[in-house]
């Protein structure tokens, strides 16, 4: 059983590409600066996706044996399940989960069909979609500054967002959300989240010292990574799509900057992510001209 525990931890450390051999530091040093480590871990998550694509979990004989052994104990079985979810989710399965999630949200919220709905639909008409892509966009009656979207093309916007932003600012925010959908970032997010769950569970099985660490600093790091739905490059990529939409509609860069700065100032949940609103503003100002052309 001890061999299985060590193999499990080793596999997850490999999958997360933490480069322990390159650091040549102790485990304590590795986690002594939680926020710094969170930056490193979040930024290397794209490499996890590449590794999963190159070396799928279901093609590793060791994992099959490991999974069978894990099922003998509930905690081990849970870790194995999370590992499987992180690597084998299909588009159909993900969209089914999204549809069920959105259906529950729609049932629990008041859907607005007044001027807020009309204004949002007029903004959405300015976003040209690839052929075959369909969106389901609705407005919830809530002052909470939040947008909720899922992989099946569903986007839900609280009326508070529409109320706070003008049409050009709203166009940037909505185009950013559409960018995530077109780039399939939700699938990557799902895989990352369940990989982190599996990572935590396996570390908790790794013995007292490892478990104690995961209950402290490491747990806080992985928890923050799960809260951050998308990674920095994914946020910047979605912003790039949004800037293209602004340029096509002859909307100046100022609309994007104003939207992000206002939402940052209002402490909007929309910006509770990695990177911060300030980082996104800097990226836009550094890489796009006033008419939204990329430098």
Q: Which are the contacts of 232, defined by CB distance < 8 A and separation ≥ 6? A: 42, 43, 274, 275, 279
What integer pLDDT is reported at residue 7 of this predicted model? Answer: 47
Residue 110 included in any domain: no
Residue of 274, 285, 281, 295 lying closest to 46 (CA atoms): 274
CA Rg value for the chain: 21
- Average pLDDT of 102-109? 95
**Torsion 219-222-225-226 (CA) sign:** negative
Residue 169 included in any domain: no
What integer pLDDT is reported at residue 82 of this predicted model? Answer: 52
**Is 154's pLDDT higher than 70?**
yes
Q: How confident is the model at residue 2 (pLDDT cuts 50, 70, 90)?
A: very low
Domain count of the fold of the chain: 1
Q: pLDDT tens across 175-202, in order?
A: 999 999 999 887 776 666 655 655 555 5
Residue 212 included in any domain: yes
- Average pLDDT of 212-234? 57
Is-contact 127 175, C-beta < 8 A?
yes
Residue 52 included in any domain: yes
**Better-scored residue on pLDDT, 170 or 95:** 170
Is-contact 171 251, C-beta < 8 A?
yes
Residue 284 included in any domain: no
Whole-number average pLDDT of the chain: 74
**Torsion 158-163-167-172 (CA) sign:** negative
Residue of 277, 273, 274, 295 lying closest to 286 (CA atoms): 295
Is-contact 243 294, C-beta < 8 A?
yes
Q: Determine the structural domain holding residue 70 and report its residue range.
A: 2-91+186-227
Give dist(CA 295, CA 231) in Å, integer. 22
Residue 280 included in any domain: no
What integer pLDDT is reported at residue 60 of this predicted model? Answer: 41
Residue 101 included in any domain: no
Q: pLDDT tens across 238-271, in order?
A: 999 999 999 999 999 999 999 999 999 999 888 8
Q: pLDDT tens across 16-54, in order?
A: 444 434 333 433 343 344 444 445 555 545 554 444 444
Residue 215 included in any domain: yes
- Average pLDDT of 191-215? 54
**Strand 147-149 and strand 111-112: pairing?**
unpaired
């Amino acid at each position: 059983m001890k061999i299985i525990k060590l193999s499990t931890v080793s596999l997850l450390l490999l999958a997360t590409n933490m480069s322990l051999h390159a650091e040549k530091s102790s485990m304590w040093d590795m986690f002594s600066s939680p926020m710094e480590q969170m930056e490193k871990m979040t930024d290397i998550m794209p490499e996890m996706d590449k590794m999963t694509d190159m070396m799928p979990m279901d093609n590793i004989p060791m994992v099959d044996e490991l999974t069978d052994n894990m099922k003998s104990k509930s905690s081990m079985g849970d870790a194995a399940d999370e590992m499987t979810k992180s690597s084998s989710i299909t588009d159909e399965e993900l969209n089914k989960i999204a549809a069920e999630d959105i259906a529950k949200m729609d049932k629990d919220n008041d859907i607005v069909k007044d001027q807020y709905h009309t204004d949002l639909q007029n903004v959405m008409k300015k976003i040209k979609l690839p052929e075959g892509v369909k969106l389901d966009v609705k407005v919830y009656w809530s002052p909470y500054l939040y947008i909720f979207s899922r992989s099946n093309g569903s986007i839900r916007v609280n009326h508070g967002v529409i109320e706070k932003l003008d049409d050009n600012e709203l166009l940037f925010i909505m185009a950013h959300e559409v960018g995530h959908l077109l780039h399939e970032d939700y699938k990557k997010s799902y895989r990352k989240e369940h990989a982190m769950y599996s990572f935590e569970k396996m570390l908790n099985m790794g013995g007292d010292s490892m478990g104690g660490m995961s209950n402290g600093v490491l747990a806080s790091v992985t928890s923050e990574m799960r809260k951050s739905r998308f990674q920095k490059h994914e946020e910047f990529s979605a912003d790039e799509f949004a800037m293209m939409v602004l340029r096509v509609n002859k909307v100046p860069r100022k609309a994007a900057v104003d939207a992000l700065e206002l939402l940052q100032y209002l402490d909007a949940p929309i910006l509770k992510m990695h990177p911060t609103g300030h980082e996104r503003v800097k990226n836009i100002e550094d890489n796009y001209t006033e008419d939204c052309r990329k430098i």
